[in-house]
Structure 1
Amino acid sequence: EKLRLDKAGQYVVFSLVTRQDLMTIDRLRNTHHKGLRCMYLNEDQVLIVKIMPGILHEASHQVLARMIIRKAIVMGIEDNELFGMGATRIQGVASQKEVDAAFKPPTLRPLSTHWPTLVFECGVSESLEQLRVDGHWWLENSSGEVKIVLLISVNKKARRIILEQWEM
């Protein structure tokens, strides 16, 4: 309820979460709570859960993604060269993270284990600093495979949207 009323943070941190716990949480989440994104720190056994407050979060990155696809097509890039990965979990060096949305060129990166080239991280009424931590994770853990991270910070109360583009 607090999250819906913008009176709570968007992140919850759990410690001492084993990989077995993570698999159990994934099964529950996939059937009942699909609006959660997870980042798991393997060695520390820490699970960071990002709670999606609903339509505003999803619409924010979907609208921007559609605009980028349209521009890419105008530039001569075939629409089948931008494969939408959705909310995929990617394994980093010592942690794993789920993206809000991502794209990769399927001809150059056909495997499901391949990193995206473009990543979207969106936050509604959350700290821009936390989004920056997320953006940093993608660039640092991908060994240069992620080329661009777009951060979308939406603040309903201030009626403000902040976009940041991060690159290595």
Structure 2
Amino acid sequence: MDFSNVPQSSSPELSSVESESADTLVQLAKETKQQPFTTNGSLQKTLEHLQRALQQDQTSDQYLVFTSVPPAQHSKLSDDRSRTSKYSRLSYNAETRILIAKVMPNPAHELAIRLFDELISFELRAINVRREVKPLGSTTVTVGNWKKEADCCWAPDLTNPRRLSFVMEVGLSESARRLALDARGWLETYSSSVKLVVTIGIKRETPEIVFHRWELISREYGVQTRSSPPQAHRTAFLKLSRTNNATIITGESYLNGTITATTQLDLSFDKIVNRPPHQPLERDLVVSEQELRSFAEDIWIGQGLL
């Protein structure tokens, strides 16, 4: 593939994320406010304080980093019965004892997760692979040295449900760079099985939602067929907004060195199901323009913007 002429991002922030090659979760931790762990109760209070600040529009930064977090504390925090797990997603490195927390700012984000999950389930049923791909929600999985929770994820191998293929992350549009680092973390971290990531950025004060599709792209760097490790790149962009009381969708897909205008979200069958399609109904998953429009309008109603 020749991606040399493809504008991988319309945002300088995302372009810089795509050009970085170090551990992106480490990079995310470095760029985020850090504080040392003291007690489980103190950590929970800090996260709850951030959630309130997000809800009251006092900040747009969803991420916090805690250092020196014991593994046992991470286990308690990530337990489904923990109140922390209901409004935050955690990434934890047991070797460095770094904990990255992404706090969900309001119910609209939870609604986005549920609606997107429903759209994917509908498509999996339509192409007759619903029993072959398992939805795992925010299940904690291991990628490299990290234990991570996605907002929503899917695994194609029912005998090994921790081997994810597809992940979705949602956040504030103001957190676009950190969402991009999160996407790269899923795709590029050593031993990760994830092949496809969708990030959804929701603007808080105006009706605007941005979808990014991220995939691993191999790049040749030697004349004798030696290739560099695949890197994550944005391969599609969709923006949903309101103009004259109508929902407008604009977008581009970047594949095989070609830029194509699009108003739908196409998701590779091979990368989600982990095999090529071979039955009559099997095809790439498609979230249509109408489905995207309904998705966005439901979110905006939840935000009080419609």
- Corresponding residue of 2:160: 111
Indicate which of 112, 119, 130 corresponds to 2:178: 130
Residue 142 and residue 116 in structure 1: after superposition, are their counterparts in 2 closer, same or farther (change >3 A)?
A: farther
Structure 2: unaligned runs, 5 residues or longer: 1-51, 217-306
Match for 1:87: what amino acid? S
- Residue 150 of structure 1, CA deviation: 0.4
Matches within 5 A, 1:54-93: 54-74=106-126, 76-93=127-144
**1:2 counterpart = 2:63:** no
Matches within 5 A, 1:1-168: 1-8=52-59, 9-27=61-79, 30-33=81-84, 34-74=86-126, 76-105=127-156, 108-112=157-161, 114-141=162-189, 143=191, 145-168=193-216
Q: Hey, what's the Cα distance between the residues in 2 that align with 1:23 and 1:145?
A: 23
Cα pair 2:78 2:90 within 8 Å, conserved? no
- Residue 39 of structure 1, CA deviation: 0.6
Cα pair 1:87 1:99 within 8 Å, conserved? yes
| Matched position secondary structure for 1:21 | helix
TM-score (norm 1): 0.85
- Residue 144 of structure 1, CA deviation: 6.0
The structure with more radius of gyration: 2
Cα pair 2:90 2:149 within 8 Å, conserved? yes
| Matched position secondary structure for 1:127 | helix
TM-score (norm 2): 0.49
Q: Hey, what's the Cα distance between the residues in 2 that align with 1:68 and 1:32?
A: 27
Number of aligned residue pairs: give it.
163
Structure 1: unaligned runs, 5 residues or longer: none
RMSD: 2.0
Q: Hey, what's the Cα distance between the residues in 1 that align with 2:71 and 2:94?
A: 8
